[in-house]
Amino acid sequence: MKAAFLVGVSDYDSLKNLPGCEEDILIMESLLKATNSYEQVRVVKGNTNSDVIKSEFRKFAKELTEKSVEELFVYFSGHGFQKDGEMFLCCSDYDSQRPESTSLSNSEMDELIRTIAPDLTVKVIDACQSGYQYIKDTNFLTDDLIKKSIDKFIFMASSQQQENSFATQNVSLFTKAFFDAAVSKNVGEDVYYRDIQSYIADTFKDHRRQTPLFVSQTTGLEVFATSNDSIKALKATYKNLIHQQIKEKSIPERVLEVINEMESYYVSQEKIDGLLKSIEPSNLAIDLSDETVRSLYTIASVDSVSLLDIGSAKVIAQEVDDKKWKNECFIKIINESYKIRQIRRDLPPFATLTLMASNKNLDDDYYETVSRERPVDVQINYQMPFDCLRLSIKPLKLCLSPWNSYLFIIPARTYCVLALGFVKLNRTSWDEFELASSKIEWLFEEFTWRDWENTSPINTLTSQTERRLRQDAFQMTGFVLDDRDETNQE
């Protein structure tokens, strides 16, 4: 049998309401029922407090425990965030002081899924920061899920780890793309999950602020449904419904609606200054939280360094230039000029080929020197309380080497770019080490100011640091991470 558990949370006690999620759950419920292939579809909407959602999921899991489940489809639409390496899906009564109690965590979902033991697990999450941290490393995700007896899985997240997921007042963009993909086939044709992923990826290819994430361990032949008359009829009904909802609103109302949605992503400059001040080195007291890592390393100091000092200015400048962050962020790219010698562009057609075929040397008459520019440094056009944050990590064992971790922040109006760097220092003598700037591993993530409270960039830096320290220790000793070690991390 195929079963589905769907949750849509549109009303919140302490967070912004999401009216589009009400439509999301209606669309997904109607779509799954129209396939005529899901024997059991459990929907939680309306009353979506944490006790209700968790109770319904547990009852649902118990009902399926003794049954042979071919596919389990789990869908959530609502607010989401990540904290300390864990993804949380917020219930209506979400409380930032009690995230475990008032949210449904990814770990809790996986525990219940394991009790059902489906042949195929499909998780579709339409929420901010739904790209769960271990998805950044797909091998890590694969190993983790295999060890948890989730052998075949498809994970579809509406956004990356530090991104928002966008919606109109009527529907979430990711859910709409899923629906459009599912109803795009002719009657009698199979709708493959792989085709749905491709359709969604194409839909968001030019959307810089939201990039859906897909991870799977399957054959690629898994079928969501076979298109039928009910699905095609649903496509027409849905379009008419959305058209009617839009038609009922005047243009000024729609303009205000869009502006209010945009405004929700902005915070004041005073707020940004306070957030940056809170992670100034002199205000930080950072400890390692992982038990294994804490027994091997300690954070010796936290200070500020310049990108030039650590030899990473060119790397940062090139990434900023490639990603076009200079167009939105408060940053200036500093370029240097250089010259190259190339074959003249004004030569007659086929002249170069003729000369090369004749084995004659091309003298200076056939070359020209041209100037080019390349990024070599960046200048932040904002009053920052520090340059680049550095964690100096000291080993507690003689056989281990020290590490450095770095955090460089590039601010913009609604978000900032986090440049996270990690490097193990090279031993040059008994107690002396040097930094090899070419070996610094840099990660770049967009991070919204309004989500800072739930997901501090310091938490992101320390959790990523601990992960590398742990992986290095296991690699040194020849051991493989098991399920308990990864669970302790999260």
The pLDDT assigned to 347 comes to 66
| 3-class SS of residue 197 | helix
Closest by CA to 211, choosing from 262, 265, 163, 155, is 163
Residue 195 token pair:
């085709």
| Matching residue, tokens 């003689």 | 398
Q: Which residue has the higher pLDDT, 340 or 241?
A: 340
Q: Mean pLDDT across the stretch 120-128?
A: 89
Percent of the chain with pLDDT over 70: 82
pLDDT of residue 173: 84
Per-residue confidence (pLDDT) for residue 342, from 0 to 100: 78
Assign 276 a pLDDT band (cuts: 50, 70, 90).
very high
Q: How far is CA 357 from CA 140, 257, 269, 345, 362, in A?
A: 53, 67, 65, 18, 11
Q: Which residue has the higher pLDDT, 30 or 436?
A: 30
Residue of higher predicted confidence among 239 and 310 = 310
As given in the structure block, the two tokens for residue 69 are 């489940």
pLDDT of 402-431, one tens digit each?
A: 999 999 999 998 889 999 999 999 988 888
* Range name among 117-131, 229-243, 304-318, 458-472 with the lowest pLDDT average: 229-243
Cα angle 35, 39, 40; round to 5: 110
pLDDT at 129 over 60: no
Backbone φ and ψ of 133, nearest 5°: -50, -45
Return the domain boundaries, the chain. 2-263, 269-318+381-489, 333-380
Query: Is the pLDDT assigned to residue 297 strictly greater than 50?
Result: yes
Q: DSSP characters for 77-98?
A: ES-EEEETTEEEEE-TT--TT-
**What is the predicted pLDDT for the residue at 18?**
84
Q: Is the pLDDT confidence value at 116 over 60?
A: yes
**Mean pLDDT within 459-469:** 90
Determine if the pTM surpasses 0.85.
Answer: no
What three-state secondary structure class fits 426? strand
CB 71 within 8 A of CB 3: yes
Split at pLDDT 50, 70, 90, the class of 447 is confident
Examine the pLDDT at 104 and tell me if it is beyond 70: yes
Q: Tell whether domain 2-263 is in CATH 3.40.390.10.
A: no
The DSSP-derived string for 4-57 is EEEEE----SSS---HHHHHHHHHHHHHHHHTT--SEEEEE-SS--HHHHHHHH
More confident residue, 220 or 281: 281
Selected residue with higher pLDDT from 139 and 303: 303
User: 87-101, 136-150, 261-275, 310-324 — which is least confidently predicted?
Assistant: 136-150
Can you tell me the mean pLDDT for 432-447? 87
